[in-house]
Structure 1
């Protein structure tokens, strides 16, 4: 969820109240406004037909990143909703594993 005002009302307003009742909460959790602060790698993955977190979340975040000259990696899974299922799930797991090994592994300390 990049901006709670675009999330489904029943769930979002249960925890956040309405944007009119809680403007500070919505502003504080709006990741679109934070896109310019991203300093490390980000892999954003979205099911194209996701009815829960609609494409507007990802598209608005990517637009904000472009406007702020921040690079993000964006992967769309056509034909999938909120979860990537079936044979494409293996592709998703490989994508995440490869991304971690290529960009993030050396930055992790235990």
Structure 2
């Protein structure tokens, strides 16, 4: 997209990673995700980091990730299940726990929470919130009619209870896809977030040294 092009023009290396349930991996990838979202996806993200780290123009100590909706879930899951791997992450309209998402979609792959409690627990970013170590920005619209804002609110509550610092942007009246000024505000906020944490722009400087006596 245009935002990724802009970030590349600013000197960021931009890459997209296929998760194990994507078409590239075929039926074997789908089987890996059956009844257990999360572990396969973070394994794919980690494989992506491993590959990027071999490239001479990539700083392996400054890799971030972001995603929206299911990609927002992948971001939350990666940050809470492989902490310390990424320098920062942005989760837009994320699923935090699959018990909060549409049963008609989720239960096709996960079965019911009663029939598959272990799978739901394993797939939950919410249950692993206390493991967060890296800078996180969570963004959600209050009128989201796909991923309910309950996901972001529950995740925020867990992070607060665990004493974990994070950033949050709530967009009043916005649905699952932001429009108008809210869309621009989100991309500007995300750009600033990554420039601050990955490029080092906007770092707070300490007070000037006292002059010698």
Quick check: TM above 0.5? yes
Q: Which residue of 1 aligns with 2:121?
A: 27
Q: Which has the larger radius of gyration?
A: 2
Residues of 2 paired with 1:69 and 1:95: CA distance?
A: 23
Report the alpha carbon displacement of residue 14 of structure 1 after superposing the two structures with TM. Answer: 1.4
Q: Which residue of 2 aligns with 1:85?
A: 179
Q: How does 1:35-46 map to 2 (within 5 A)?
A: 35-46=129-140
Q: Which residue of 1 aligns with 2:149?
A: 55
Candidates 92, 95, 104, aligned match of 2:198: 104
Residues of 2 paired with 1:16 and 1:105: CA distance?
A: 39
Residue 34 of structure 1 aligns to a residue whose secondary structure is: helix
In structure 2, relative to structure 1, the CA distance for the partners of 1:29 and 1:105 (3 Å cut) is: farther
Residues of 2 paired with 1:58 and 1:45: CA distance?
A: 8
The structure, 1 or 2, with the larger RCO (C-alpha pairs under 8 Å, 6+ apart) is 1
Q: Which residue of 1 aligns with 2:86?
A: none
Residues of 2 paired with 1:59 and 1:92: CA distance?
A: 18
Aligned-residue CA RMSD (Å): 1.1
> Which has the larger helix fraction?
1
In structure 2, relative to structure 1, the CA distance for the partners of 1:75 and 1:21 (3 Å cut) is: same
Q: Which residue of 1 aligns with 2:111?
A: 17
Give a deviation string over 1:45-82, Cα, whole Å, max 9, x none: 00111121112111111111011100111101111111
Report whether the alignment pairs 1:75 with 2:169.
yes
| Pairs aligned (count) | 106
5+ long unaligned stretches in structure 1 = none
TM-score normalised over the length of structure 1: 0.90
